[in-house]
């Protein structure tokens, strides 16, 4: 039965959800104060990686918290001023790093990641761009033998949950990507990985397909919901009231107050991610390369080389620390010594993050016609089509291909 559905948030998650719902025949409104893809979806690493099954919090991470506080330029940094507000999230983050919990979370991430590449296929067909995602695999590189050895448990964890990979020596790495620096010691090639030629344009292509299919995009700021005797009935924006039968909150880092208004308090917080973009890099890699020891990915896009990564826990209000972007430039120059950095442009965006690295995907515990889809952290783009398909199943009352219990909004 067709419904009127309001989707709040026009990032990758919201747009893919709206397109999937419209594909099902629903009357869909997509509402955001910004245009499609102009938030976190504008500046991510553009990678779609089915191997990203290991959570951020792993055993022993609690020993790194002092360094996080003392080194504002490290791969994982925490702003002192934000610590009081972050404490409840941080405590759950540390609890999630227990060995048995990491194994459990990895299983849930693996279930969600399986098929995430293929989930884009019907949406790409609707957009008329079936080849916009290149399924090349990617390489994770190591500058030291000790760094490679330190990640052995990480790789074993991946293997236990079905991740395929091949270990590469220095010569094999350079055969794969001749522009890589000669000092690299080891690499790991993951075949089940792709990348979008332009992550921002991908979201826009899906938004255009959504409108062509009869969906409506409203550039309005959501202020509240109208709650009737049977539950939420309308979304209230700065420009008016929009009635609905069902609503999906997919507003990324800004989802928390909206979810609370719909009866679903969450521990959502924000990872501040940075990138450098080089429009004329002077090198032409054929696939994404991830520096495991320095925590960034370099992705070849149709409009240049994108270098993205690191985590800064500092909330939504503090100004960017552009030194972190400069660190990215220094680090990528070690991996690609031939990179031309002139004309590089920095960017900072907000990744919506849950302490256990699992997104929120499910119904509000209070209102059965309210659905939530946020908190994907580093995996927003890569899980956007998969999340949209799962939400379409839930809104339609169909069974989902995986158990959605681990991602429920009230799991804490």
Question: Do 17 and 386 touch, CB atoms closer than 8 A?
Answer: no
| Predicted confidence (pLDDT) per residue in 145-160, tens digit | 999 999 999 999 999 9
pTM of this prediction exceeds 0.95: yes
- For the chain, what percent of residues have pLDDT higher than 70? 100
User: Which of 54-63, 64-73, 132-141, 256-265 is predicted with the least confidence, judged by mean pLDDT?
Assistant: 64-73
| Predicted confidence (pLDDT) per residue in 52-75, tens digit | 999 999 998 888 878 777 888 988
- pLDDT exceeds cutoff 80 at 352: yes
Residue with tokens 């799962």: 390
- pLDDT exceeds cutoff 80 at 362: yes
| Cα–Cα dist 141/185, whole Å | 8
At residue 353, the pLDDT reads 96
Task: Please give the backbone phi and psi of residue 269, each rounded to the nearest 5 degrees, phi first.
Answer: -140, -165
Residue 279 is encoded by which pair of tokens?
């429009």
Question: Do 304 and 280 touch, CB atoms closer than 8 A?
Answer: yes
| Cα–Cα dist 408/411, whole Å | 6
User: How far is the CA of 347 from the CAs of 252, 271, 306, 322, 405, in angstroms?
Assistant: 17, 14, 11, 8, 35
Task: Of 197, 152, 176, 154, give the one whose Cα is nearest residue 46.
Answer: 197
Residue with tokens 């016609």: 369
For 257-344, list the strands marked E by DSSP: 269-278, 289-291, 296-301, 304-313
Task: Of 106, 48, 159, give the one whose Cα is nearest residue 406.
Answer: 106
- pLDDT exceeds cutoff 80 at 217: yes
At residue 228, the pLDDT reads 94
Q: Which domains does the chain have, with CATH numbers?
A: 4-43+201-266+357-407 (3.50.50.60), 47-196+269-353 (3.30.9.10)
Question: Do 286 and 300 touch, CB atoms closer than 8 A?
Answer: yes
Question: Do 400 and 29 touch, CB atoms closer than 8 A?
Answer: no
| Predicted confidence (pLDDT) per residue in 11-35, tens digit | 999 999 999 999 999 999 999 999 9
Which residues face 30 on adjacent strands? 7, 217
At residue 65, the pLDDT reads 76
User: How far is the CA of 131 from the CAs of 35, 79, 116, 135, 216, in angstroms?
Assistant: 24, 41, 16, 9, 26
Task: Of 167, 57, 46, 162, give the one whose Cα is nearest residue 115.
Answer: 162
| Cα–Cα dist 366/227, whole Å | 12
Reported confidence tier of residue 316, pLDDT bands at 50, 70, 90? very high
At residue 62, the pLDDT reads 83
Residue 395 is encoded by which pair of tokens?
């809104």
Look at strands 304-313 and 269-278 and give their pairing. Answer: antiparallel
Angle in degrees, CA 169, 170, 174, rounded to 5: 115
At residue 74, the pLDDT reads 87
Residue 297 is encoded by which pair of tokens?
């990915």
- pLDDT exceeds cutoff 90 at 235: yes
Torsion sign (Cα): 348, 349, 354, 356: negative
């Amino acid at each position: 039965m067709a419904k009127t559905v309001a989707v709040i948030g026009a990032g990758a998650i919201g747009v893919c959800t709206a397109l999937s719902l419209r594909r099902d025949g629903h009357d869909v409104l997509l509402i955001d104060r910004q245009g499609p893809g102009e938030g976190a979806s504008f500046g991510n690493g553009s990678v779609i990686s089915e191997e990203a099954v290991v959570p951020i919090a792993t055993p022993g991470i609690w020993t790194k918290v002092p360094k996080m506080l003392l080194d504002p330029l490290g791969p994982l940094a925490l702003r002192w001023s934000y610590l009081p507000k972050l404490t409840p999230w941080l405590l759950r983050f540390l609890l999630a790093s227990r060995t048995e919990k990491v194994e459990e979370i990895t299983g849930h991430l693996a279930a969600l990641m399986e098929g995430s590449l293929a989930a884009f296929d019907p949406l790409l067909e609707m957009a008329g761009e079936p080849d916009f995602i290149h399924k090349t695999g990617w390489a994770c590189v190591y500058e030291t033998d000790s760094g490679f050895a330190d990640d052995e448990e990480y790789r074993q964890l991946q293997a236990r949950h079905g991740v395929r990979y091949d270990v590469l020596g220095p010569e094999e790495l350079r055969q794969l990507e001749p522009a890589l620096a000669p000092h690299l010691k080891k690499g790991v090639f993951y075949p089940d990985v792709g990348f979008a030629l332009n992550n921002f344009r991908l979201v826009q292509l899906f938004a255009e397909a959504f409108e062509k299919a009869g969906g409506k995009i409203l550039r309005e700021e959501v202020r509240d919901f109208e709650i009737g005797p049977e539950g939420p009935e309308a979304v209230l924006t700065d420009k008016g009231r929009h009635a609905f039968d069902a609503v999906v909150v997919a507003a990324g880092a800004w989802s928390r107050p909206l979810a609370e208004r719909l009866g679903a308090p969450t521990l959502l917080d924000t990872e501040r991610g940075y990138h450098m973009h080089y429009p004329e890099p002077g090198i032409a890699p054929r696939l994404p390369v991830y520096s495991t020891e320095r925590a960034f990915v370099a992705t070849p896009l149709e409009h240049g080389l994108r270098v993205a990564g690191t985590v800064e826990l500092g909330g939504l209000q503090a100004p960017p620390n552009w030194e972190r972007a400069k660190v990215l430039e220094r680090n990528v120059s070690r991996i690609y010594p031939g990179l031309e950095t002139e004309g590089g442009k920095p960017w900072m965006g907000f990744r919506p993050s849950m302490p256990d690295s699992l997104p929120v995907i499910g119904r509000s515990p209070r209102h059965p016609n309210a659905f939530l889809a946020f908190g994907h952290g580093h995996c927003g783009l890569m899980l956007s089509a998969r999340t949209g398909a799962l939400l379409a199943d839930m809104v339609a009352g169909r069974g989902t291909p995986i158990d959605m219990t681990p991602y429920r909004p009230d799991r804490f």
